[in-house]
Amino acid sequence: MKPPKQAPPESMALSADEVRRLSAWLESHDGDPCADAISLCLDTGLRRSELAGLRVGDYNRAFGQIKVARVLVETRGGVVEKEPKSGTSKRWVPVPGTAGERLSRHIESQRERLAENGVAQGDSTPMFATDGGAAVRPSDLTAAFRAAADAAGLPKRHHLHSLRHTYATYLLSTGTSFKEAQELLGHASATTTLNVYGHVVPGRKTDAADAYIRWREGK
């Protein structure tokens, strides 16, 4: 029996209304480590393992960028820190505007929260930490998203990775090149991005063909 076909990425992306509802819920939980991590995921398209692997020192506030340098993966033996899945997965991702402001607030509120529990926050502290200073587990982020999605009234088909699809779909549908999207998403190549998201912008092929015919006919 053939496995069921997966839904195309754009069908898993959140609609504008769903983004607004989820964002409103996340804003009402500003300062919660999981809610702040989910908000960053929505704003940057980071993978779950990348979010869990971030450290405070990975955020360059002056340039409004965050460095993806490691991932956290859950195994039977516990949580394991690993290198990103490919060389291109190691990257700097912009965190502009209100996204950067929220991340800065999170870092400061986390500093205070950890201090109350006798933990000093430094550059090597997990970006999203428990009260004891340990990194929030990837599965915790999944569970937190489910709770947030249910509270915001999102359909059950959405999961944390849907936020990555939302980010990618928006980038490509608003004119970002596949090469630029590949660099932001950390795909191994632009071909990977094209294979996964090429159908998000089907009109580009027609536009390119039309432009060629106009050029050939001297128009």
Whether 118 shows a pLDDT value over 90: the answer reads yes
Q: Between 59 and 170, name the one with better pLDDT.
A: 59
Q: How far apart are CA 166 and CA 177, in angstroms?
A: 16
Residues 128 and 36 sit within 8 Å (Cβ to Cβ): yes
Give the model's confidence band at 73: pLDDT under 50 very low, under 70 low, under 90 confident, else very high: very high
d(CA 113, CA 99): 21
Q: What is the pTM of this model?
A: 0.83
Q: Which domains does the chain have, with CATH numbers?
A: 9-216 (1.10.443.10)
Q: Name residue, tokens 């991340």.
A: 103
Question: CA-to-CA distance for 36 and 72, rounded, in angstroms?
Answer: 17
DSSP letter (8 states) at residue 66: E
How far apart CA 215 and CA 209 sit, in angstroms, is 10
